């Protein structure tokens, strides 16, 4: 018996995709089940089409929810334990029953996150926090599944799909990368989709998916090389101010006080070092007299230099008693 995925037949006539037998040789029980499910679906339309909620939706210019559409039913398969097969233990954070089911059958943890759903307004921060806690508790890996880009493609909405992808970047990948970097342990971060969903067809596609792997060990080697170059170019005796995400967030007045104390002591120059998107080498941070952060946002180097330059100027005007600050 064939139960068609509704998102694969958008804007097509319904009748050819209602439950039907795959083979004429299927037994009478299969035939009756297909007929019963089809009858249930058609009956649901008669019940729902004039329901007050649907009348209200139509009046508001929204599409009515006027038919039930069962699909994907099957006998639960048996999967080997992920831990027994691969020797690792982990958590899968999702709001999609299909993903829960696969993870559960493999013996992985599937925690519930309040406010998480398969739409654009899912609880991104809650999912991230759940995954990070799983890693802190000793799991070997944590998988965070975000359904929103897929759903926005099914809806054919380019703007909302772009918004969903941006949410993944700024509210999922970015915070996870920042937090794991601050923890100081080696890690790898894999970003990929489980399948393409095309805006042109509003359905799934079988093409290979792109992926990106971030390995902190590779980045650490590059940062160490960069760090030696940085320290080699800092004037002897200069106080290093390392600008990095794990630094303290300070006010303009606090920066002014730091510069005033430095100038008053006659200790010499101050060298501000701006970290890359990967941060700064540990060697540079250990050598720093002050570590501070302009927040958890990521900005281009040129913009970071501009903001820093303005803050240094502001600090100097504060120390000089000028009115620029306020």
Closest by CA position to 122, among listed 49, 48, 172, 192 = 172
Q: Please check whether residues 93 and 188 belong to one and the same domain.
A: yes
Q: Is residue 277 part of a domain?
A: yes
Helix-strand-coil split of the chain, %, nearest 5: 45, 15, 40
What's phi and psi for 244, nearest 5 deg? Answer: -150, 155
For CA atoms 90, 223, 182, 114, give the dihedral sign.
Answer: negative
Q: Please check whether residues 180 and 90 belong to one and the same domain.
A: yes
Cα 76 off chain centre by: 29
Q: Is residue 230 part of a domain?
A: no
Distances (CA, A) of 110 to 9, 144, 148, 263, 298: 31, 10, 19, 56, 31
Predicted local confidence at residue 4, as pLDDT: 86
Q: Please check whether residues 189 and 243 belong to one and the same domain.
A: no
Q: Please check whether residues 55 and 88 belong to one and the same domain.
A: no
Closest by CA position to 167, among listed 213, 238, 116 = 116
Secondary structure element (H or E) that encloses residue 292, with its range: strand 288-292
Q: Please check whether residues 183 and 244 belong to one and the same domain.
A: no
Predicted local confidence at residue 25, as pLDDT: 67
CATH number of the domain bearing residue 280: 3.40.1280.10
Q: Please check whether residues 194 and 269 belong to one and the same domain.
A: no
Q: State the total domains in the chain.
A: 3
The strand pairing partners of 32, in sequence order, are: none
Q: Please check whether residues 40 and 90 belong to one and the same domain.
A: no
The single-letter DSSP state of residue 84 is H
Q: Please check whether residues 203 and 274 belong to one and the same domain.
A: no
Closest by CA position to 107, among listed 140, 84, 76, 73 = 84
Q: Is residue 96 part of a domain?
A: yes
Q: Please check whether residues 125 and 41 belong to one and the same domain.
A: no
Q: Please check whether residues 113 and 175 belong to one and the same domain.
A: yes
d(Cα 110, Cα 118) in Å, to the nearest integer?
15
d(Cα 272, Cα 243) in Å, to the nearest integer?
7
CATH number of the domain bearing residue 168: 3.40.720.10
The upper half-sphere exposure of residue 2, i.e. CA atoms within 13 Å in the direction of its Cβ, equals 12
Tens digit of each residue's pLDDT, the chain (326 residues): 788 888 888 888 888 888 888 777 678 888 888 899 999 999 999 999 999 999 999 999 999 999 999 987 777 788 999 999 999 999 999 999 989 999 999 999 999 999 999 899 999 999 999 999 999 999 999 999 999 999 999 989 999 999 999 999 999 999 999 899 888 899 999 999 989 999 998 988 889 999 999 999 998 898 999 999 999 999 888 999 999 888 889 999 999 999 998 887 776 789 999 977 778 899 999 999 999 888 877 788 889 999 999 999 999 999 999 988 77
Q: Is residue 191 part of a domain?
A: yes
Q: Please enumerate in sequence order all residues whose Cβ is within 8 A of that of 151, keeping only pairs 6 or more positions apart, or say none.
A: 118, 119, 120, 164
Q: Is residue 184 part of a domain?
A: yes
Predicted local confidence at residue 212, as pLDDT: 95
Q: Is residue 186 part of a domain?
A: yes
Range of the domain at 11: 6-59
Q: Please check whether residues 89 and 185 belong to one and the same domain.
A: yes
Q: Please check whether residues 179 and 262 belong to one and the same domain.
A: no
Q: Is residue 214 part of a domain?
A: no
d(Cα 302, Cα 199) in Å, to the nearest integer?
35
d(Cα 167, Cα 162) in Å, to the nearest integer?
9
Q: Is residue 168 part of a domain?
A: yes
């Amino acid at each position: 018996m064939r139960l068609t995925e509704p998102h694969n037949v958008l804007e097509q006539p319904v009748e050819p995709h209602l439950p039907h037998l795959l083979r004429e040789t299927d037994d009478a029980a299969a035939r009756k089940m297909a007929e019963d499910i089809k009858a249930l679906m058609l009956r649901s339309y008669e019940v729902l089409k004039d329901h007050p909620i649907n009348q209200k939706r139509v009046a508001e210019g929204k599409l009515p929810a006027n038919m039930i559409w069962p699909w994907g039913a099957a006998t639960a398969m048996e999967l080997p334990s992920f831990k027994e097969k691969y020797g690792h233990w982990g958590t899968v954070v999702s709001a999609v029953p299909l993903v829960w089911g696969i993870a559960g059958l493999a013996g992985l943890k599937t925690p519930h996150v309040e406010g998480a759903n398969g739409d654009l307004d899912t609880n991104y921060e809650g999912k991230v926090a759940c995954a990070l806690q799983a890693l802190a508790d000793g799991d070997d890996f944590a998988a965070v599944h975000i359904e929103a880009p897929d759903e926005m493609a099914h809806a054919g909405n380019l703007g909302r799909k772009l918004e969903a992808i941006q949410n993944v970047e700024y509210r999922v990948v970015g915070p996870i990368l920042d937090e794991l970097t601050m923890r100081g342990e080696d890690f790898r971060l894999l970003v990929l989709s489980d399948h393409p969903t095309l805006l042109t067809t509003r359905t799934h596609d079988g093409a290979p998916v792109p992926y990106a792997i971030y390995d902190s060990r590779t980045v650490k080697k590059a940062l160490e090389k960069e760090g030696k170059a940085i320290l080699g170019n800092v004037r002897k005796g200069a106080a290093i101010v390392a600008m990095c995400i794990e630094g303290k967030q300070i006010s303009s007045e606090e920066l002014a006080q730091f510069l005033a104390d430095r100038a008053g002591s006659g200790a010499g120059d101050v060298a501000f070092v701006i970290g890359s998107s990967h941060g700064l080498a540990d060697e540079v941070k250990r050598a720093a007299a002050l570590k501070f952060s302009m927040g958890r946002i990521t900005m281009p180097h040129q913009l970071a230099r501009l903001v820093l330059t303005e803050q240094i100027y502001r600090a100097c005007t504060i120390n000089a008693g000028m009115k620029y600050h306020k």
